[in-house]
Amino acid sequence: MDPSTLPLSEDTRGALCKWAQVYDRTLNQSDPIQSGFETSEKAMAFNQEGWRLWNCLRQELTSFKVVYFDHELGKVLEDENSRHT
């Protein structure tokens, strides 16, 4: 979904675009199976930013259901409580 089509703040739109660019740079086009973050710290930072953005989206898009796929947990989360189950 294109963030520019949603009622989001400019800060959130910009952060989403930057976050997507970070993820896009993990693609190894010559060997996609080798794609991923260079370090576990970078992967963890990416995931933490995903959590922050998920919370921003849930606050700004109150009429939408906003979910997040947590790479560390390997599952889709629908609310804060699902992180610990």
Place of tokens 């989360």: 77
pLDDT of residue 80: 65
Read off the amino acid at residue 64.
F
pLDDT of residue 71: 83
pLDDT of residue 67: 94
pLDDT of residue 1: 82
Q: What is the pLDDT along the chain (85 residues), one digit of tens a residue?
A: 888 999 999 999 999 999 999 999 999 999 999 999 999 999 999 999 999 999 999 999 999 999 999 988 899 998 765 554 4
What pTM was estimated for this model as a whole? Answer: 0.84
Q: Are 26 and 40 in contact (CB under 8 A)?
A: no
pLDDT of residue 79: 76
